[in-house]
Structure 1
Amino acid sequence: MDRFRELQVFVKVAEEGGFAAAARALAMSPPAVTRAVSALEERLQSRLLVRTTRTVRLTESGRRLLDDGRSVLSALEEAENQARGARQVPRGHLRITAPALFGCYVVAPALGAFLQAHDEVTAETLFVDRVVNVIEEGLDVAVRIGELPDSSLSAIRVGSVCRVVAGAPAYFEAHGMPMHPSDLHAHRLINPLAFGRKVAWNFRDDGKDLLIEAPSRLSLNTNDAILELMRRGWGISRLLSYQVAPGVAQGALQTVLDAYRPPPVPVHVVHPEGRIASAKVRAFVDFMVEELRQNEILHMQG
């Protein structure tokens, strides 16, 4: 079996999460798939996969090869298409991840518009409030909110969001409006568990960092639940500006302490394939970058 075929088999095993599933996807026998991966490991003198009775897990070497291998296979396909004079039309299946509410408010509408323009592309999403390993979970594109760690992923900055304190007008009428971050000690705070098990909110006061640690009777693990309680006037919380934007626009929420906001949080579109991305990924990334850069929700710094 040639080296490219071995690489193709390995990538498919990693993406499918098992030898039997990869064999079905490649129309090969399971023993042939096993032999191909074993031959690749022997030639590289490196263990790429850890096999158990139920799962297949990538080693560190395997994760690096998966990233590079996808790029190599994509480059080969593109080179062959160019040699044949084939026009690169976006086609195939896209897998996209983003934070839950950002996916709902921003990514899903943009994805719908993209699919409307590209009939040969299908897509699925993973909208969750955790950092997803793009390589291990076989994803094509991710929207990341926050500083990015060093990685092999290609990243394009598209804007930023702010951390804001907000509540319902009815709450502020009943309990008063905080004029300084230190006033939060006297308020009913809802703690987002995504940022820790206690309220520890950072602000900027006269150019200096200010950390407010305060008690909270209620910690919630979903932003939807926090927003619902805020709308009902139960208390106030600190979320990202895009999360409260619909409520603010409707008059159901208002932000406070805006003069003390910490620096904005960057937003990036990331993908693992670099310059030689497939046509579907390249087209979607270009489309998404343009959409996000024009979206006012990523430029609300005031």
Structure 2
Amino acid sequence: MDRIDCMRAFVAVAATGSFAEAARQLRQSPSGTSRAVAELEAQLGLVLFNRTTRSVKLTERGRIYLESCRQILDDIETAEAYARGEGARPQGVLTVAAPILFGRLHILPLVNALLAAQPTLAVRLILSDRNAHLAEEGIDVAVRIGDLGDSSLMARKLGRVCTAIVASPDYLAEHGVPETPDDLKNHAIIAFEPLDTTNEWRIAPGVRPVRLMPRLMVNSADAAITAAEAGVGVTRALSYQVRAGVEAGHLVPILTRYKAPEIPVSALYPPRRIISPNLEAFLQFAGEYFRSNPVVPLWEWGNPG
């Protein structure tokens, strides 16, 4: 079997976690897909998948090889599109991943505008608060909030956020406004578990962390913010998550003299010699969207409270 066809079978199995589903997507028999992967393993002298009766999972070497395969196949597809004179026209499916709330507030409007402008393009939008693995899950571009470390992925900066501590005006009128981080110990705390993995809140650089006992713990930023707006207590979230509530007067930022660190918001995508028209269109629209709708830390809002 052709080496490129074997690579396509390998990538499809890695993306679906199933030989049968990969075969269905490739429109070939499961035995043909299995044979293609086996041929590739024989050529490489490697085991690419750990197979059991219940699951198919990449080996460590398979995970490394997958990223190179995706890049090769993407480059082939893009080169063929340019050769056919289709290089400037986005078409097919672009897969985008983003955090749930950020995706709903910012990436979905961006995608809606992109789809309106590009009638031959389709988008698969995955909203999840976990960091997806781009190569394994067939994701073309992912929006991440946080430091990127030593990621080998390419990054395009979209904005900046920070943590913000907020409560409703009614709650603060009844219980008083905390003036120092230690004052939070005397207040009802609403903890958002993905952000508050411990009970220590690190308010700002150089400020001693404060250990708090939450009265309400939730695993959704939306739920924590809704509870704070209802007057249940004080919560901490990312600035973009609470901006609408603050501007509507439902929430008030507190302890704002303690400046929280900035957190970058980035679009990540695999390094490629040729950027596909689909990805290029998304990055262009993302740049335009965030210039018109900047995502910035609380202290750049103007007068947040």
| TM-score of the pair, normalised by structure 2 | 0.92
Distance 1:147 1:223 in 2: 20
Which has the larger displacement, 65-74 or 285-294?
285-294
Q: Give the superposition deviation at 1:62.
A: 1.6
Partner of 2:19: 19
Q: Which position in structure 2 is the counterpart of 1:285?
A: 283
Matches within 5 A, 1:63-142: 63-142=63-142
**1:220–1:272 distance in 2 versus 1, CA, 3 Å:** same
Offset from partner CA, 1:189-233 (integer Å, 9 cap, x none)? 1111113454311123xx624211122222111111111111111
Q: Do the aligned partners of residues 258 and 274 (structure 1) sit closer, same or farther apart at CA in structure 2, a change above 3 Å counting?
A: farther
Q: Counterpart in 2 of 1:59?
A: 59
In structure 1, stretches of 5+ residues that fail to align are none
Q: SS of the residue aligned with 2:137? A: coil
User: Alignment partner for residue 266 of structure 1, among 241, 264, 267?
Assistant: 264
For 1:131-280, list aligned pairs within 5 A: 131-196=131-196, 198-204=198-204, 208-280=206-278
Q: Which amino acid aligns with 1:144?
A: R
Contact 1:98 1:142 in 2 (8 A): yes
Matched residues in 2 for 1:163 and 1:29: separation?
Answer: 51
Q: Secondary structure at the match of 2:261?
A: coil
Measured in 2, the distance between the counterparts of 1:229 and 1:166 equals: 11
Structure 1 residues 241 and 150: CA distance shift in structure 2, 3 A: same
Distance in 1 (CA, whole Å) between partners of 2:42 and 2:291 is 47
Say whether the 8 Å CA contact 1:245–1:297 is kept in structure 2: no
Q: CA deviation at 1:299?
A: 4.9
Give 4+ residue runs of structure 1 displaced > 4 Å after superposition.
none
Moved more, 61-70 or 263-272: 61-70
More deviation, 174-183/267-276? 267-276
Letter of the 1:279 counterpart: P
Q: Structure 1 residues 83 and 297 mapped into 2: Cα distance closer, same or farther (>3 Å)?
A: closer
* Alignment deviations for residues 67-92 of structure 1 (CA, whole Å, 9 cap, x no partner): 11111112122223333444431111
Q: SS state of the match for residue 274, structure 1? A: coil
- Once the two structures are overlaid, the 10-residue window that deviates more, 241-250 or 146-155, is 146-155
Unmatched runs of 5 consecutive residues or more in structure 2: 301-305
- Give 1:273 shift: 4.7
The alignment's TM-score, normalised by the length of structure 1, stands at 0.93
Q: How far did 1:162 drift?
A: 0.9
Tell me the percent identity: 39
Residue in 2 aligned with 1:296? 294
Measured at CA, do residues 292 and 63 of structure 1 come closer, stay the same or move farther in structure 2, by a change above 3 Å? farther
For each residue in 1:2-36, what CA deviation from the matched residue of structure 2 results, as whole angstroms up to 9, or x when unmatched?
22121122112212321122222222222221111
Q: What amino acid is the match of 2:245?
A: G
The 2-side partners of 1:275 and 1:172 are apart by 55
Task: Give the distance between the partners of 1:122 and 1:286, measured in 2 at CA.
Answer: 16
CA deviation digits over 1:113-138, x for unaligned, max 9?
11111111122322222222222222
1:112 maps to a residue whose letter is N
2:303 matched residue in structure 1: none
Change (3 A) 1:96 1:85: closer
> Aligned partners of 1:198, 1:66: CA distance in 2, in Å?
35
Alignment deviations for residues 95-127 of structure 1 (CA, whole Å, 9 cap, x no partner): 222111111111111111111111111223222
Query: Could you say what the CA RMSD is over the residues aligned between the two structures, in angstroms?
Result: 1.8
